[in-house]
Structures are given as structure tokens and as C-alpha cells.
């Protein structure tokens, strides 16, 4: 597979993983396990496969979050619920969320089982070198039910791709806030207000990052990407696709196309069920 094709497939399937961050069931199950509602369930839920790590490790691996925001929730989370309990609660939340949004018939369908097999085959080809989040998720025991296998496999693939993306952002000289400012300037993905507040950056810090990018010729005075900035973001995304291509190449073009077809229908069903709130993602 061409790495650009595999990149489009990975981005197209990402809502099947990311819906867990917005589903009400995540807060419900993780607070029932002992965590405080809100940001703590996000940080602890995503970091739990790595064990009871400190705020520095979470900041390093998540990259675009304000260190102060992370430190307000980690390591305090581990005193309320141990990582193994959180992992179990997270799978239970995903189970409940997918059943609510897709329905039991879809969850138990032959297509779901096939998609799970294909995604797991791809995920098992993820290299762990310099991929801490992917490696941690790969170390978890596999669930037995196909819809959870699919979600877990796509989580591994997403973290594998994300680990590579962080490496590329670092190489490009973009810190966590600068990476968000330049990304939202593309008009794709997160809208700027959500990216800023959800990642814990103040308006002053956001504006300072924009000035630094402007001084480098990445942004123009109005905050739009310059030609240099567009080229930088394109190179970063292209390299992210290239660094994340191996699992999809292992799956092969036919298997990837089949997973993309089934997964695309599942994504459309999740979107129709309102898996993401308004005001989070750009419309173009």
C-alpha cells in the first residue's frame, strides 16, 4: 500500500477509537471505579496501560497537553483506582457505548467479527521501538468479544501512529502548544477554541505560541498558515503516514480495503448517533 492511502484509512477509522473519549459511558464507568469525573478519566484511562506512571511520562507521551493540566490529575488518579482496574472499566465503557450507538445486532454481526480479525492482524504488526503508548496497549490482554477486539486493535494502531507523529513534531521543532496552533490553522480536525481549552492552554500561552510560529514564517500576522507553514504541516502529515504505514502494509491492500469498507459504515453509524459533540471538529 502507498503510505498516503494507509494514512487516509487510519484517519478515516479513528472515530471508532476516539468515540470513547466523548462517550458518557467513559465517565460513568471510570468514576464508578473510583476516579473523579472529567479530565482525570481521560488522562488515567488512556495512560493506564503504561501503569502508574507520573505526570512527566503522560505529558511526554500525550505531548500537546499543558504539563500543569496533566499534573492536576496524574499521579493522583492512581491513588483512587489502580491501572488494571481502570483498564477493565475502560473496556466496559467501550462495550456499553458501542452497544448504545450501534445496537446489539451490529455488535454481534459477521461484519463486526470480520473487521475485528482484520484490525487485529494489522495491529499485531505494530513495532514497539520508540512507540511507548502503542507498546503499552499491545501488552494488554486481548478482549474476547469482536467489537472490543476491533476497538482495542484500532487503539493500538492509533497510538502507534500517534507515537510516530510526536516524533515528527519534535523533529520539526514544534512544542505541544505550537503543534496545536499550527494544526488548527489547517482548518482540519479540532477547532482552535476546543483544542486550546481541552489541552489546558491559556489564551496568553496560545497567542505566544502563535507569535513564535509567526516569527518562524509558519503563520502570517493574521494567524493563517503561510506557504512555509502549509509545507511544514504537509511534510509532517506525510511523514506521519509513512512512519505509520507498516501495519497496513502487513494487512495488505485487499484486507485494508475490506476493513475500510466495514469500518467506514460503522463510523457513519457512530456519527449519526452523535458520538462527537458540536464545536469540537472543523467542518471543512
Q: Where are the domains of the chain?
A: 3-272
Helix (H) or strand (E) holding 100: helix 83-102
C-alpha cell of 194? 476546543
Would you call 281 helix, strand, or coil by DSSP? strand
pLDDT of residue 136: 98
Q: What is the pLDDT of residues 128-183, one digit of tens each?
A: 999 999 999 999 999 999 999 999 999 999 999 999 999 999 999 999 999 999 99
Please count the other Cβ atoms lying within 10 Å of the Cβ belonging to residue 21: 15
Return the H-helix or E-strand segment holding 45.
helix 39-47
Task: Look at residues 98, 78, 77, 85 and name the one whose alpha carbon lies nearest to residue 22.
Answer: 98
CA 83 to chain centre: 19
Q: What is the pLDDT of residues 206-261, one digit of tens each?
A: 999 999 999 999 999 999 999 999 999 999 999 999 999 999 999 999 999 999 99
Q: Which residues of 135-164 are buried (b: 16+ CB within 10 A; e: fewer)?
A: bbbbeeeebebbbbbbbbbbbbbbbbbbbb
For residue 279, what pLDDT band results from cuts at 50, 70 and 90?
A: confident
Q: What is the CA radius of gyration of the chain?
A: 18
Please state whether the predicted TM-score (pTM) of the whole model is above 0.75. Answer: yes
Q: What is the pLDDT of residues 46-68, one digit of tens each?
A: 999 999 999 999 999 999 999 99
pLDDT at residue 280, rounded to an integer: 83
- Tell me the CA end-to-end span of the chain in Å, nearest whole number: 27
What sections of 124-252 are H helices per DSSP? 132-138, 146-171, 176-184, 192-198, 203-215, 227-243, 246-251
Amino acid at each position: 500500500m502507498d503510505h498516503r492511502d494507509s494514512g487516509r484509512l487510519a484517519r478515516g477509522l479513528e472515530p471508532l477509537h476516539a468515540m470513547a473519549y466523548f462517550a458518557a459511558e467513559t465517565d460513568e464507568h471510570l468514576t464508578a471505579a473510583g476516579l473523579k469525573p472529567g479530565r482525570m478519566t481521560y488522562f488515567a484511562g488512556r495512560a493506564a496501560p503504561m501503569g502508574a506512571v507520573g505526570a512527566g511520562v503522560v505529558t511526554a507521551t500525550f505531548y500537546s497537553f499543558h504539563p500543569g493540566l496533566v499534573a492536576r490529575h496524574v499521579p493522583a488518579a492512581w491513588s483512587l483506582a489502580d491501572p488494571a482496574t481502570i483498564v477493565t472499566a475502560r473496556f466496559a465503557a467501550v462495550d456499553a457505548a458501542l452497544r448504545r450507538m450501534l445496537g446489539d445486532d451490529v455488535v454481534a454481526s459477521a461484519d463486526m467479527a470480520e473487521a475485528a480479525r482484520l484490525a487485529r492482524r494489522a495491529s499485531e504488526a505494530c513495532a514497539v521501538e520508540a512507540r511507548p503508548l502503542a507498546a503499552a496497549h499491545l501488552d494488554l490482554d486481548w478482549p474476547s468479544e469482536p467489537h472490543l477486539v476491533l476497538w482495542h486493535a484500532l487503539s493500538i494502531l492509533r497510538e502507534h501512529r500517534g507515537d510516530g507523529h510526536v516524533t515528527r513534531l519534535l523533529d520539526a521543532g514544534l512544542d505541544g502548544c505550537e503543534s496545536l496552533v499550527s494544526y488548527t490553522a489547517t482548518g482540519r480536525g479540532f477547532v482552535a477554541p476546543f483544542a486550546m481549552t481541552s489541552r489546558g492552554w491559556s489564551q496568553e500561552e496560545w497567542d505566544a505560541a502563535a507569535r513564535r510560529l509567526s516569527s518562524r514564517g509558519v503563520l502570517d500576522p493574521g494567524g493563517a498558515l503561510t506557504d512555509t507553514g502549509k509545507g511544514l504541516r504537509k511534510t509532517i502529515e506525510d511523514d506521519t503516514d509513512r512512519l505509520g504505514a507498516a501495519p497496513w502494509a502487513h494487512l495488505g491492500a485487499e484486507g485494508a480495503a475490506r476493513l475500510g469498507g466495514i469500518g467506514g459504515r460503522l463510523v457513519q453509524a457512530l456519527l449519526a448517533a452523535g458520538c462527537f459533540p458540536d464545536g469540537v471538529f472543523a467542518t471543512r
